[in-house]
Structure 1
Amino acid sequence: MKYNASALLSVLLACATLTACTPNPYASTNKAHHKQVKAFAKQLRVTPALTPGEEQLKQGDYWVGTTNFSMRRPNFVVIHHTAQNSTEQTLNTFTQPSTQVSAHYVIGRDGKVYHMLNDNLRAWHGGAARWGNDTDLNSSSIGIELDNNGAEPFSEAQTASLLQVLDMLKKTYNIPTANFIGHSDIAPTRKNDPNHTFPWKKLAEHGYGLWYDEGILEKYLQPAAPIVISDSTGTAPAIILQPQDTVSTIPFIFNPKEALRIIGFDTRDLPAAIRAFKLHFVQDEVNDVLTEKDKVILYNLYQKYM
């Protein structure tokens, strides 16, 4: 079969034009986004307005604007799962004013990245939250939402894109390794995302978040001593029971609640803090009971955060 080169070129150009002209379903909300950003920019260009109560102060003779300032620098990255069924559903949710929720990045199951908000602006992703002494994580963090219904594993394509975004953010804003955390870490009484299948260990291996040391369980966990039951008359042989449990040899003075607090968890609701800790660092038997294994992991991490 012979092809007409001129006709083929025309078809290719038509396809390229069609792709370029494909209408953006979010054109109207993008317009609203630009309008809102423009309004904020206008506020920044004017002389600072008096804050409530400032009019009562004795004012200087004239206004003086400093030349030493910059945009805000995020210091945390908070990772979420969307608990929705598709990227499109989440994009729609984040463009509806009535939902009052947003994030800087949304990453689909297919690895596609949607950068929805300038990193220097404040997204509404953390809600009522606390990490250490920081009670306004929205103002100090970048929010990343992963398209995931809350129960499924995270795809390889999605994780690969996430690692690329984290690398970019860490280099751009010099975010400390320990400051890559999850939504459940900062809001343990309300949230459980990202779910227990999230690859926190893999992220830590790339420098995003901390993880406990290899071999730490073998170092501190030992089989419990056998239990010997003797016949008081001495006529029957002793019975030796081999317990299945293990015991840890971490220092007796170790305080798990204090360790959780040092790491950053809000321990005012201790059971919730324990669940959040186990969701992130243990990822099996996620409950509010610290086993000997959990305590060893917690002790090791506590030393890293000190």
Structure 2
Amino acid sequence: MRWTSGSALLVLALATAGCGPAPQGESRSGSEGLTAQERPAAEPAREVVADVASGPAGIAVTAAPGVAFNYHYAFSLPAARISAAQEGHAAACEKLGIARCRITGMRYQLLGEDRVEAMLAFKLDPTLARQFGKEGIAAIQKAEGTLIDAEITGTDAGAEITRLAAERARAQEELARIDRELARSGLPASERAELQRQRAEIAQRIEGARSASSEQRESLANTPMTFDYRSGRAVRGFDAGAPLTSSLDLLAASAQATLAFVLGAIAVLGPPALVALLGLLVWRRFRPRVRRPKAAEVEASD
């Protein structure tokens, strides 16, 4: 066989391509094609470490079409910084615009000295909800606060919409059948009245299914999110859960409770005790003096 220069170049190119590294897409697809049992142990370990390192805010909610999510976060931070944190979250929502974020509720309660509870509720574009929550948590951490509770719940709104659509279709078929019955001539009055009653009931069911379906679509289009704030201690220079910190906090709380009890006892028992003391002094000053008989008078009487 005679080799041409073109054939030699083609063979050289194929050999070079075969010896080179595999394309990135091919190496990745080979790993993704394995089942959960066939994957190397190192891959899930890396995924778990990534989730743990990111904390509660890094929990990735799987994008599930037809699922309506509801986000709830609770924060603990110094009482003096709750108002500013709440205002910052409200400003972040307003910055997104009312088409993508709306404030639906707000509460701020001063329950006592250094005791504050507050709430801020939003409705967000579903595609922005998770990122908005992460940024909200970051703002709390900058204010020396902590995330103490995070809850993300979901309802299968898509399945409910499908069920309501099927129910409405069946009701409309029944409604069409009743309309055909009512269109017949010579229908007895009692039977006509019963058909009209059934028709009104079915029409009410159809309207109820339509309203419920609209509510489910609304839940898919707008994701509720709630921020709860409560006063708590600021972040210390050392672990807040350490025994020394806990002991100091217990000592301060015990001293405060003891002082409050003593002041309360003085406030309750002080006025009656003062009145009793004044009464005793008056009685001692003006009590009747009883003259004691002398010894001579005693002997004379004997």
TM-score by length of 1: 0.20
**Higher RCO, 1 vs 2 (CA within 8 Å, ≥6 residues apart):** 2
Rg larger in structure: 2
Task: Report the structure, 1 or 2, having the larger strand content.
Answer: 2
With the length of structure 2 as denominator, give the TM-score of the two structures: 0.21
